[in-house]
Structure 1
């Protein structure tokens, strides 16, 4: 499983940007439903919305009468009820949405407490009152500031309040400090953010007037592929776009990052001209990306062939240029970036232009990607696993799951009961990956193993295994140092999922399936007939590679496997460490090497001086070749023996092959 095993800060700058972007997006994403509600109300009920359009098209008679009349609902003074300044639309964007962001930011910083959220909302209200533009950026500053500062103040008098006065102190301290921050927000934050918004708006106008806005795709598309999409969208474009939308009724900024066209074009090119797993997985990825709105699904395809970044850049530029030409945009953010969400957020006047921008972006990206794929002379098969191989080649060494383990030995050798699939936001790619992995885990009979998805920022160090994209694994490891970490580069059908299932079979030897196999093995004399005396070596020496080779050659000599299986044993070790704890390693081949097995057998090699197994001490190396499901019984019996320290001591003291056979189940020669 492709991972990084060193702690070098070679991507520290990008990791810091990712963390900052995640911090910003974590204030927006929990409230995206409120943004959608505001966008739907705006799109439907204002005077230029869909309801009024229906009324104008069909009149107010017949079956459309009641629906059309909704567009004319009025306040008592005769002003439109749903219009910006006098009805629902204006107060929602002015007060509700920034206050939700401020509350979420304060609560997020102050240990997920309501107290931090309340102070954050109070501080945000000051910024709202101090400016005439929506205070999304102000909320992202004042909300966390309120929560953080309240947390620091509470720490000053923690455990010093006399009993009976806790509520009094807590309520008044929050009120006094919140009021102070509200004044600061009114005097400082509001005017500052308004000035920043004016400058940003002028920059956008400058780019639009000079037809330079498409050039933003040169920065946005590569940043997306590096998993900075949340930092760009929720952290920058959504606040600026919402402000512009309130003034102009729509904003092109909502489509700079969220346009599904470039991803659609790239995946179509792989579906037609790709090879290997990339070609076969592309059609399914299209549905997930274009309909489901999970753009992360196409990032690995670009990472596998980095030159394709040119295709998505040109596609993005073409989409932006089309929106500029049509003067189109969205009323509210399209989240997720699905074509359904894009259409739902499109005002009637922009529907044609928005649709055209998606089609043009997809077409341009498809054509460029098709040319690059057809003229590719690199010699690889276009498989997504090439990204992993290239990463390892650049690094100069192989890496494994065991290299990503941290903390206690129990975390690296014990059974796996909880698996978390983590991504940046904890929604799109991780939910999809968890669904695929959960199906495989349950299908393998591990119904007691939980598989869930989370945002990296929400990870806690109480899980057994964390799966993440290889560009995010360093961040996930910082949050969960005691867990095993597996890096993947393909969310849909990664071969790593099968290897995780195999890892479960190796680790969860006390599970129900293994327990049943062990019971059956006990009734039939354990692993009788699987270990020959000639396959037992008691005085070996060497390194890890030599130990694997010797255990494999013993299986070959016993007529159980051919030499291809020995090579597969080395390959397995580069993917999943076979170190099991208690001085034991059990090297075996990959799933693809099953045809090289002629019959089930094991070999036993003892290293009195020990072998360094990726930093772990190993004295017993048991090579395994399991035809069918025979290896379950083998693993169960071996686990039973090596979980008993007295049995391990007997193996350490064994002088003959018969002594070993007596411990491992009175096994007879095959």
Structure 2
């Protein structure tokens, strides 16, 4: 068992290292994909003049960017420069796009200059530091570029050609759909970035150079399997899993954050069969109809996928997505219908998903939360950190950025991969619990907060409250009802004539919350109307028979506008167990 776990750790680390070289450069891949889609001979706007740029970008720019990034991940700017020099040797010494060579020479170049500095840094006399630094980087870069040109380039070129022939043989044998038997479970075990950006993106780019499109860009990014599962939960699910699935569909299908459906599958392990069936059928449809993209679609949003679809390719791509959705739904529906349990376990499944993610990183359990006192004086920037620095961490940064802005705080909120963190004082690092130790080791001078879920956690409101200096007031307000109206334990829907979601600027969250609660009420036969209103319009709802639903950050404004109304304070307007608790009390 230990060997199996160790193997998983090594695979995860390798995949993370590969994807961390590619993902920061996805913008360049997308730019090249758009250029290809528009200006090649079979593009939307064929242009021989602009088409001249397509091949040099693929041959030179993209591999050098990957090598530069790989070197930077190992040894900062100094490693990036030597890594780029070494990569160019592999590029010049081959006749194929040198992505694999870049992933080798970039980190190798950085490792060489790092080891040189470790040995000689303390031996350089004062005043000669710049001379030694420049010439050591130049000389080591020179040696590596010659080595890469004479050996690495030709060897990797032969290896790349062999891999290309193998992939083409699999495609021609119509066996590519079988890859989804491994891809779909691997995604839920958080190997999605390693698969998509570490393997499929470089191989797909080479296929685009030869054929103008590649099916490999669609294997992992297809949103159909996840959409089918979420749709099944929306129709046949129970409790908070059913009510939250509608919002999850929007985030998954349009936002491209596939991680949001992972807990739903973990909650009912038989649903692995649904996503596998959806993935296999979707890829079979892609292959049957000749679907492909001209560039990497990142994130896996239907919007990004359609943007990378070449002229005349929309029908095959959409057919594969919707066939995958339909098959996944048809497999998931009877599984959920046959479930005789009284409630759902979405919260437990979310915890299990986090545990699986932690295990895939070689941790037996999630690391404890790392927290310190947070104040406006001690924090000048907020950074969300995760393995890749994209996906759910980007969305978490967006959520907190909105809360910080509403609180009137002038603090930048960004997201990065842990490998790109630098130890900067007066920085607040927000990361997931299973990554907290790594983030703390990387940035010991920063303030750290660990959360279990980037997309829904009450800690964001706690952070904003502490930064705004209102932690004590918020704690007091949330620990007990104000005028007996903010504690949900005293809310009885039998005496409520209308529920109103109050919002300041986050109208979208209020709309999703309204839809969630309406679905819960409909499933339980409750005829209480649900609406939404801006804070400025709450005066007309200032009555004891009105229930206002709001977040901690917005609570004070709501109480000021409608002091007589009952108030339910929740962590998130979209997904919260408080709605189910209210309904359960009503039926007692």
TM-score, normalised relative to structure 2:
0.70
Equivalent residue number for residue 544 of structure 1: none
**Structure-2 change in CA distance of 1:476 and 1:18 (3 Å):** farther
The structure 1 residue matched to 2:416, chosen from 454, 459, 463, is 454
Q: Does 1:404 align with 2:368?
A: yes
The structure 2 residue matched to 1:46, chosen from 29, 40, 46, is 40
Shifted more, 251-260 versus 431-440: the winner is 431-440
**Structure-2 change in CA distance of 1:381 and 1:501 (3 Å):** same
Alignment partner of 2:49: what SS?
coil
Alignment partner of 1:272: what SS?
helix
Aligned residues: 468
Aligned CA-pair RMSD: 3.7
The equivalences for 1:373-522 within 5 A come to: 373-388=336-351, 404=368, 421-437=384-400, 452-459=414-421, 468-469=431-432, 472=435, 475-476=438-439, 479=442, 486-489=450-453, 491-492=454-455, 494=456, 497-498=457-458, 501=461, 511-512=469-470, 514=472
Aligned partners of 2:367 and 2:436 also within 8 Å? no
The equivalences for 1:463-612 within 5 A come to: 468-469=431-432, 472=435, 475-476=438-439, 479=442, 486-489=450-453, 491-492=454-455, 494=456, 497-498=457-458, 501=461, 511-512=469-470, 514=472
State the shift of 1:161 in Å. 3.4
Q: Does 1:90 align with 2:55?
A: yes
User: Which of the two has higher C-alpha Rg?
Assistant: 1
Return the alpha-carbon distance in structure 2 between the equivalents of residues 175 and 466 of structure 1: 36
Equivalent residue number for residue 239 of structure 2: 276
**Structure-2 change in CA distance of 1:280 and 1:11 (3 Å):** farther
**Structure-2 change in CA distance of 1:390 and 1:517 (3 Å):** closer
State the shift of 1:285 in Å. 2.0
State the shift of 1:498 in Å. 2.6
Equivalent residue number for residue 236 of structure 1: 199
Return the alpha-carbon distance in structure 1 between the equivalents of residues 197 and 114 of structure 2: 26
Task: Give the gaps of 5 or more residues in structure 1.
Answer: 1-7, 53-70, 72-79, 396-400, 519-529, 531-563, 566-627, 630-670
**Structure-2 change in CA distance of 1:126 and 1:241 (3 Å):** same
Return the alpha-carbon distance in structure 1 between the equivalents of residues 138 and 354 of structure 2: 53
Aligned partners of 2:409 and 2:468 also within 8 Å? no
TM-score, normalised relative to structure 1:
0.62
Aligned partners of 1:22 and 1:457 also within 8 Å? no
The structure 2 residue matched to 1:109, chosen from 66, 74, 86, is 74
**Structure-2 change in CA distance of 1:450 and 1:14 (3 Å):** farther
**Structure-2 change in CA distance of 1:475 and 1:446 (3 Å):** farther
Aligned partners of 1:305 and 1:387 also within 8 Å? no
Equivalent residue number for residue 345 of structure 1: 308
State the shift of 1:373 in Å. 1.5
State the shift of 1:42 in Å. 0.8
Equivalent residue number for residue 11 of structure 2: 17
Return the alpha-carbon distance in structure 1 between the equivalents of residues 172 and 209 of structure 2: 20
The equivalences for 1:77-476 within 5 A come to: 80-83=48-51, 87-110=52-75, 112-113=76-77, 115-388=78-351, 404=368, 421-437=384-400, 452-459=414-421, 468-469=431-432, 472=435, 475-476=438-439
Aligned partners of 1:42 and 1:82 also within 8 Å? no
Return the alpha-carbon distance in structure 2 between the equivalents of residues 449 and 10 of structure 1: 44
Return the alpha-carbon distance in structure 1 between the equivalents of residues 342 and 156 of structure 2: 53
